[in-house]
Amino acid sequence: MTKLTRPTEVRALLEKIGVRPGKSMGQNFLIDANILDILITIADLQPEDRVLEVGPGLGVLTEQLLAKAAHLTAVEKDVKLYSYVNERFAGQSKLKLLHGDALRMNLNEMLESGITKIISNLPYSIGSRFIVDALGCDTQPERMVFTLQREVALRLVAKPSCKDYGVMTVLAQLEHEVSIEKHIRPGSFHPEPEVLSSIMLFKRRETALAPIHDRRAFREFIKACFAQRRKKLINTLVRVASNQTSDEIQRNLDVLGIDGNLRPENLSVTQWGVLAERLGRN
């Protein structure tokens, strides 16, 4: 069996199955055994866990997930990698391997089926988009662990009033405790990425920072407000909440104790949650 944490053996295997890692697919294969161990430790897998993995690649993480979880659903877009993983884990009853684009599948339906955790070395080309999709689902997994571009990781843990604070920050932190667990050197992957990477942990909060009854509507509201992040909040809300007058919006802001002269980037995650809830209710 090829040792998937040895660069020479990984290169030889990729050549054998005819895969040339490309930027368009965001393919950077994890080859660092220490980072693999850290990922599994952070995942805190339990025997009853049902896990989703996006982009199993050659199966280096897949193998560890199958050893510890009750069931694994893996989604691979590359047809050659899909065929390889399908053959490698043939007869493994705990694995459901899907060939397709993770951004086009019904993720909400998949999570509602009982997925408790998402653990992935996410392809760089879909990292931020997949996370936004996951955060918009009606059912949120207990824990998500990802390897991501460091610039995306910094946006996820950002604080108000800084340049990295934005839509993804608010969506992530409202219902999850989000943390950077480990920075990863480029040499931990093959081929080495041109960007720095980090391991991110999302732990679902027992209680959200603010009640959100429609995640999709909330996401669109936040996106619209941050589209012009340097404008005064009151002016942005007049445009976004077009069914309410400026006086009505100002009264709502006054009730919540939010200064309408602030910029969108100045509001805390909790303030965004209560503001969206109140405007939606009114």
Strands annotated E in 84-237? 95-99, 117-121, 143-149, 176-184, 189-190, 197-204
- Last residue of one domain, picked from the residues 177, 204, 231: 204
CB 30: neighbour CB atoms within 10 A? 22
| Residue 230 falls inside a structural domain | yes
CATH number for the domain harbouring residue 272: 1.10.8.100
- Sequence-distant (≥ 6) Cβ neighbours of residue 18 within 8 angstroms: 80
Tell me how far apart the alpha carbons of residues 50 and 209 are, in angstroms, rounded to a whole number: 26
Residue 129 in any domain: the answer is yes
Averaged pLDDT in 10-residue chunks for the chain of 282 residues: 83 94 82 96 98 97 98 97 97 97 96 97 94 94 97 98 97 98 96 94 97 91 93 94 91 96 97 94 66
List CB contacts of 51: < 8 A, sequence separation 6 or more: 43, 45, 65, 69, 71, 72, 73, 115, 116, 117, 118, 119
Is 209 contained in some domain? no
Name the pTM for this structure.
0.94
Query: What is the dihedral sign for C-alpha 110, 113, 117, 119?
Result: negative
Q: What was the pLDDT predicted at 7?
A: 86
